[in-house]
Structure 1
């Protein structure tokens, strides 16, 4: 069973189309139209048929608009933070965090919305989120012209799963930052004493199985007081990571309450100093 409403509990939209920094990326699907043509020629009263080689014409069809939030665009030449938010927040809720990250790290930031969240219409699933993420990453590289080596991917909670997927595909990124990561959705459900539910839920994000494919410098940040996702999840994930890795287990931080400066920005700054 999917239980998408349980896994992706989108909150009531905290923003509208007037939110400053909204940046839309059109999803484009290229289809091919093939044309065949016959030419009739008469020579000495005989009809000859000539088949002209097929001609393929590309037609671009716009399907939908992916919603993102681009802040401090003037700093794109210095690098870009790509942020995937948690499952109970939207762009309006994470705007301040993304802005502060960009300010203190002296980079631009691009936060990605999920279908069904905020003003982004649609149904949310692991497949649609990951599909959008790939589309956004290609846009960053090809349209915004940001080099892969200047990209930092950050994920929080459910966003960690998407961040891990992107770091596996784009192996040259500067670093991967995982906030309150988990080994798998079913593991989290079991930890919270819903064992029978975990047996019914379709597993979407098998992070532990994929972590050995991550080779970029990776920082795990997890609160010791996190009662929703125990910090042992980050410890298990860290063991599988193949690149340079660091783990920060922090007091006074739980899953949804933390100090942006003390628990997020300062550990990231210290980590980036080590991988320069």
Structure 2
């Protein structure tokens, strides 16, 4: 499961430095009610360069989907190291509210609830490509409406994706030329020759065809501003470099709208044209499976359709006090613990429909609780091991 780009003795050490995951996950399986999705890697592995098209790992990885009512664009965010889906929460929620876009945050192997897997450049790129394909095929968002955004180490997978696919746009925050160049800047040329390369952003950037926005602080001492300047010069498409004179590598770009939000809005003409409808999320995407068994999934889907075909009439919107439901989007088992509940009109999809409701400015989906749907989902959850048999 190594990187595959170089097999030097230092690969493991370099990976630990590059992918410095938090000591523990900042979120749990019940976090982000109605927003925590699970993407089966084996099912979404057709994108990407040939070296990434081998047998995919047989697991699912978490993503967080923040929907925005009637948004035209989806921003797929690849976070920096030392972050996970939970710790980047304020940043992505600000992007959604200020720019009027959907946001899909991608988790890396070795991070958050993916802590049992190992982070390498190859594995991170697999997650990155799978998230784009999931957005296109499962959520129904065409590539022309997808903007990929990478921060720091996340600029590696972001550029890798944009070099292969023509998208609505590419956004880079504090990008680097290459891993070797970072070590060369800090350790000198001799020691940097001992480092295995992971992301060749300086090479791949020349293949990017999508409009590209780069934001980099001039006071950045970890990744010098010169990296962004060279990447900008290498681009052969529409591009803009935003040089924040007072920003360093750890500056919060949301403190000053002119450092990130305003350039994003102007460069991509956001929020764009209202689509008039929300995203449709497959019900299975809310389910965490230990293994991606396609035969089992097909059988469960057939059983789910059979049960739901017996449903009489339309499901009604239930309030949080009916049928043992806890807070919004949760069902409670007999032990009192909360489990995330898919929200779906119809059974295979959920729709974002109430962005202007009294629940606040964040776009929410309605919870639909017809008896047939509820029974079908419980059956599927039991067989996937998400709920105990006694619940």
Partner of residue 159, structure 2: 164
User: Secondary structure, in 3 states, of the residue corresponding to 1:110?
Assistant: strand
Alpha-carbon distance, 1:272 to partner: 1.8
Report if aligned partners of 1:252, 1:258 keep a CA contact under 8 Å in 2.
Answer: no
Question: Does structure 1 residue 28 correspond to structure 2 residue 39?
Answer: no
Partner deviation per Cα, 1:30-66 (whole Å, 9 max, x = no partner): 9xxxxxxxxxxxxxxxxxxxxxxxxxxxxxx992111
Partner of residue 310, structure 2: none
Report if aligned partners of 1:223, 1:231 keep a CA contact under 8 Å in 2.
Answer: yes
Q: Could you tell me which of 202, 212, 222 is aligned with 2:206?
A: 212
2: distance between equivalents of 1:194 and 1:113?
A: 32
Question: Does structure 1 residue 236 correspond to structure 2 residue 230?
Answer: yes
1: distance between equivalents of 2:30 and 2:191?
A: 40
Alpha-carbon distance, 1:204 to partner: 0.7
Question: Does structure 1 residue 140 correspond to structure 2 residue 151?
Answer: no
After superposition, where does 1:122-137 map in structure 2 within 5 Å? 122-137=117-132
Structure 1 pair 237/18, CA: closer, same or farther in 2 (3 Å)?
same
Partner of residue 20, structure 2: 9
Which has the higher mean CA deviation after the structures are superposed, 197-206 or 102-111? 197-206
Runs of 4+ in 1 over 3 A off after TM superposition: 194-197
Structure 1 pair 197/118, CA: closer, same or farther in 2 (3 Å)?
farther
1: distance between equivalents of 2:266 and 2:123?
A: 34
Partner deviation per Cα, 1:201-245 (whole Å, 9 max, x = no partner): 210111111111011111110001111001110110111111101
User: Secondary structure, in 3 states, of the residue corresponding to 2:198?
Assistant: coil
1: distance between equivalents of 2:153 and 2:62?
A: 18
Q: Which has the higher contact order (CA 8 A, sep 6+)?
A: 2
2: distance between equivalents of 1:164 and 1:87?
A: 16
1: distance between equivalents of 2:69 and 2:60?
A: 23
Question: Does structure 1 residue 203 correspond to structure 2 residue 217?
Answer: no
Q: Could you tell me which of 243, 249, 253 is aligned with 1:249?
A: 243
Report if aligned partners of 1:214, 1:242 keep a CA contact under 8 Å in 2.
Answer: yes
2: distance between equivalents of 1:119 and 1:64?
A: 12
1: distance between equivalents of 2:191 and 2:110?
A: 23
User: Aligned pairs, how many?
Assistant: 243
Larger Rg: 1
2: distance between equivalents of 1:29 and 1:139?
A: 9
2: distance between equivalents of 1:19 and 1:179?
A: 27
Partner of residue 189, structure 1: 183
2: distance between equivalents of 1:237 and 1:85?
A: 19
1: distance between equivalents of 2:235 and 2:43?
A: 34
TM-score calculated relative to the size of structure 2: 0.59
Stretches of structure 1 lacking an aligned partner (at least 5 in a row) = 31-60
Alpha-carbon distance, 1:200 to partner: 2.1
Q: Which has the higher strand share?
A: 1
